[in-house]
């Protein structure tokens, strides 16, 4: 359902979880009424639909909207914001997120700094629901950063100048629309091109007819023959492609390992990688990994995944779904420690409800603002 930018910020009520009483509707509170009870955290959430500027087409699907759940965690009058982005292939929805979030009792925690304990409780509440769990993780990190008065990249000891350029995503489309998308991406230093159908070479040739900017490609498991995949990586190398993301089905482990061994380009795991244990499984099969907060349950686990991948001498990319500036800004806090970033999900939508991380001359530019560095758009 379509929501205006003001709906989330100034709605008549947010779905709220207080104790184990289920889902209730709370009237909007004035500033004088909004001070949280110090005895526990207060979780609120609201469904929202992102409107994409262009139809988003992958190797196996197309869509014009993405369902998200916007969350808040309040403590002592301070509010942290979070988000769950739920594209259909993840298997989550407004209904599943509502069910999971309404089952949580965060009011039992009277100290938000018990981060590990709180997030372990959330993770163990039910299997799956990774995006919904990420929405709590992000909101809690935002809250803690605001309490400490520091952005998370500083809390982690990262240098904001170390952020990479972010790619701008070009979905599968007609030649005319592709040229239009490339024009919209003016100023970006790298493009990410979706492949995996029968027009892969045409897509690349069309883009190369209007720009010589470096590119990476995401095949979304679209190639099924390892020899064809190798031929494509060799051809893509000649076209200035930097790496190939998930070229074959994640179950084709032996074929992917063979491709990685022979490919002139790095092969990066995406669909094959979700959470921390998957990093070690990807070692020796892929050249590197693409971490997404919506798949790994949020910032806490993403940080651990980067640490492990570096210990295994693997390349690291931080990515996103179509998201508001909330989740994108949360992921951007980790950007100084990765090789590549694909954090353009907020730029692909027309109804963002936050302002946050910026792209300046193609580079992820972190904001020196407490928490994850976002401001609600009122």
User: DSSP secondary-structure letter at 369?
Assistant: -
| Cα distance between residue 193 and residue 253, in whole Å | 23
DSSP-based three-state secondary structure for 315: strand
**Residues contacting residue 23 through CB under 8 Å, at least 6 positions apart:** 15, 16, 17, 98, 102
Q: What share of the chain is helix, strand, coil (3-state, %, to 5)?
A: 35, 25, 40
Structure confidence at residue 14 (pLDDT): 52
Structure confidence at residue 33 (pLDDT): 37
Residue 20 clears pLDDT 50, i.e. is over it = no
State the burial class of residue 312 (Cβ atoms within 10 Å of its Cβ: 0-12, 13-18, 19+): middle
Structure confidence at residue 264 (pLDDT): 98
Structure confidence at residue 54 (pLDDT): 81
Structure confidence at residue 22 (pLDDT): 33
Structure confidence at residue 61 (pLDDT): 64
Residue 10 clears pLDDT 50, i.e. is over it = no
Mean pLDDT of 358-378: 95
Please tell me whether the overall predicted TM-score, pTM, comes out greater than 0.85 for this model: yes
Residue 6 clears pLDDT 70, i.e. is over it = no
Residue where the block lists tokens 């790298």:
190
| Cα distance between residue 137 and residue 118, in whole Å | 9
Higher pLDDT, 12 or 374: 374
Structure confidence at residue 60 (pLDDT): 59
* % of the chain residues with pLDDT over 90: 82
Q: Token pair of 301, please?
A: 């686990």
Closest alpha carbon to 323 in 311, 310, 313, 332: 332
| Cα distance between residue 264 and residue 133, in whole Å | 37
Q: How many helices (DSSP H) and strands (DSSP E) are in the chain?
A: 13, 17
Q: Which residues pair with 71 in a beta bridge?
A: 45, 82
Query: Model confidence over 46-88: pLDDT tens digits?
Result: 999 999 988 776 655 677 899 999 999 999 999 999 999 999 9
Length of the chain measured in residues = 378
- Phi, psi values for residue 250, rounded to 5°: -60, -20
Structure confidence at residue 15 (pLDDT): 55
Q: Token pair of 307, please?
A: 């640490």
Closest alpha carbon to 18 in 126, 114, 130, 103: 103
Q: Token pair of 196, please?
A: 């995996």
Query: Model confidence over 82-112: pLDDT tens digits?
Result: 999 999 988 999 999 999 999 999 999 999 9
Query: Model confidence over 158-210: pLDDT tens digits?
Result: 999 999 999 998 988 889 999 998 998 988 999 999 999 989 999 999 999 99
- Contact (Cβ atoms closer than 8 angstroms) between residue 283 and residue 273: no
Residue 148 clears pLDDT 50, i.e. is over it = yes
Q: Alpha helix (H) ranges present in the chain?
A: 5-10, 94-102, 115-124, 130-148, 152-155, 175-184, 200-208, 226-238, 253-262, 276-282, 293-296, 299-311, 325-332
- Phi, psi values for residue 40, rounded to 5°: -175, 165
- pLDDT range class, residue 5, cuts 50, 70, 90: very low
Rg of the chain over Cα atoms, rounded to whole angstroms, equals 21
Residue 27 clears pLDDT 80, i.e. is over it = no
Query: Model confidence over 333-363: pLDDT tens digits?
Result: 999 999 999 999 999 999 999 999 999 999 9
Query: Model confidence over 197-249: pLDDT tens digits?
Result: 989 999 999 999 999 999 999 999 999 999 999 999 999 999 999 999 999 99
- Contact (Cβ atoms closer than 8 angstroms) between residue 325 and residue 375: no
Closest alpha carbon to 274 in 294, 254, 257, 256: 294
The chain-wide mean pLDDT, for the chain, equals: 90
Closest alpha carbon to 130 in 293, 334, 317: 293
| Cα distance between residue 369 and residue 329, in whole Å | 11
What DSSP assignment string belongs to 334-366? TGGG-SEE---GGGGBS---EE--EEETTEEE-
| Cα distance between residue 374 and residue 305, in whole Å | 24
């Amino acid at each position: 359902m379509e929501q205006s930018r003001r709906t989330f910020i100034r709605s008549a009520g947010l779905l709220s979880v207080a104790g184990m009483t289920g889902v209730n509707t709370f009237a909007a509170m004035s500033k004088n009424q909004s001070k949280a009870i110090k005895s526990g955290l207060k979780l609120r959430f609201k469904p929202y639909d992102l409107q994409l500027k262009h139809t988003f087409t992958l190797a196996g699907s197309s869509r014009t909207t993405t369902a998200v759940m916007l969350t808040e965690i309040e403590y002592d009058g301070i509010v942290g914001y979070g988000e769950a982005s739920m594209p259909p292939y993840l298997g989550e929805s407004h209904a599943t997120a509502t069910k999971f979030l309404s089952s949580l009792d965060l009011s039992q925690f009277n100290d938000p700094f018990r981060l590990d304990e709180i997030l372990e409780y959330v993770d163990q509440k039910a299997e799956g629901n990774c995006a919904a769990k990420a929405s709590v993780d992000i909101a809690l990190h935002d809250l803690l950063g605001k309490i400490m008065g520091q952005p998370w990249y500083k809390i982690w000891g990262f240098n904001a100048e170390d952020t990479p350029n972010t790619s701008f995503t070009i979905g599968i489309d007609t030649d005319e629309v592709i040229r239009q998308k490339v024009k919209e991406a003016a100023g970006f230093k790298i493009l990410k091109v979706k492949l995996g159908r029968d027009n892969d070479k045409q897509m690349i040739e069309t883009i190369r007819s209007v720009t010589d900017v470096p590119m990476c490609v995401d095949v979304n498991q679209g190639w099924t023959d390892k020899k064809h995949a190798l031929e494509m990586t060799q051809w893509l190398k000649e076209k200035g492609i930097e790496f190939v993301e998930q070229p074959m089905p994640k179950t084709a482990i032996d074929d992917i390992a063979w491709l990685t061994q022979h490919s002139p380009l790095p092969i990066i795991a995406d669909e094959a990688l979700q959470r921390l244990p998957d990093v070690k499984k990807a070692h020796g099969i892929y050249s590197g990994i693409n971490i997404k907060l919506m798949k790994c349950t949020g910032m806490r686990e993403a940080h651990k995944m980067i640490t492990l991948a570096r210990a295994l001498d693997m390349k690291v990319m931080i990515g996103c779904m179509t998201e508001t500036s909330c989740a994108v800004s949360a992921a951007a806090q980790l950007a100084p420690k990765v090789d590549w970033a694909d954090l353009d999900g907020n730029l692909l939508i027309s109804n963002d409800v936050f302002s946050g991380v910026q792209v300046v001359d193609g580079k992820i530019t972190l904001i020196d603002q407490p928490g994850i560095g976002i401001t609600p758009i009122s």
